[in-house]
Structure 1
Amino acid sequence: MLFLKEVLGEKYEEFKGIIDAYNSENKDKQVKLANLSTGEYVSKAKYDALESEKNNVDTQLKTANSTITALKKDNKDNEALQTEIAGYKTTITNLQAEADKFKKTYAVKELLVKEGVIDPDYVIYKQGGVDKFSFDDKGEPVGVTEIVKTFKEDASMAHLFKQTQPIYEPAGGQGSNVNPFAKETFNLTEQGKLLKENPAQAREMATAAGVEINF
């Protein structure tokens, strides 16, 4: 919530205290704030799905570990049960690998969203999977900015990123911030001029306004 200090000034501490107090009393309904201008927002549906997947893996790990502990304690010399224990150990190994991959995927997606990526799953797929990303000793992804840069430099990947409306620069005239394809500044005459004078920019501005044009 640090970005709110600039907005709230002296009232920041009072606001933070209210949020912290609420969160401490409502463990299942936590209030989470994000600066949308940095691309930090993730929809509640996606957040809940990721949390559910993580909790499911963690629960399976705890259950398998508890079962092994009980079997070892009560049946140390039983060959059949020792075989069963070995099976549980394999299950734990697989679950741990799944949990590790999930945590890496979540961390990569979080950084991709902050870099302005709209569809992090597709970027991960195009990169060859989460295992193609680099991680430090703590399991944190590194080099994501450089990877994103290569996608941003590819015009065919523009749809993967948040679009800002480009400046319309008619031939022989001064630039304007008006996008003739945008709903609030829709102008067929200017669209026609732009399509004739600068088709590439017309396509870019149409995309920024959520309009698809084919020519």
Structure 2
Amino acid sequence: MTKRRLIRIYPGGERQFSSNYNPVSALNAGCQLVALNVQTKDSHLAVYDSLFRENGNTDFVLKPATLLNSEVPANNKKRISIKVIKGKNLTTSKKLIDTYVSLRIEGVKDDVKKNNTKTAVTADGKNPEWNQTLQFDVTRSELDFLVIKVKETHYMGLKNDTIGTHAIPIANLTEGLQTVPLEDNFLRKINASVQLEISIKDLI
């Protein structure tokens, strides 16, 4: 249906709150317009925004070929290895804080379930070093997103606050060493980043 018709998805009219639903399932069904509450700056909006940011914020992006043509094979299995090296300027406070990095996949159901992991906590909160490699096997890389969150943990892990977030479509990941800028809880760029080393391998 989405190959021939323009379909718009939007929050229910009787909703009383401005929380956002996850737009990925609608996007992966081929829906062209997915309306979210822009006043709610959450990870769902960050994922949706990342789709257009990677196209230079030109207000549109082409669908994956598998959603445009049923004859295009949907086998895009990949193994993604991400070495989380270090963080930079994660806090302006002089006190020591415990920080860690959480990596998660948003996308097709099977990929979301098995790919939620995080690095160990380190006590150097401002410029921590983790040097840990996290690995993901995804089945539909053209439909998945990587969500990176840097968090501060309190009270022996009973409370966690997000320091910064970055989302990117898996299809737009590039291999090699790279510095990833972070955004705050209002999706504004902050002077903080994490350094990653990424490798991508095709799976048969």
Give the shorter-chain TM-score range: under 0.3
Higher strand share goes to which structure?
A: 2
Higher helix share goes to which structure?
A: 1
What TM-score does the superposition give when structure 1 sets the normalisation length?
0.24
Please identify the structure whose Cα radius of gyration is greater.
1
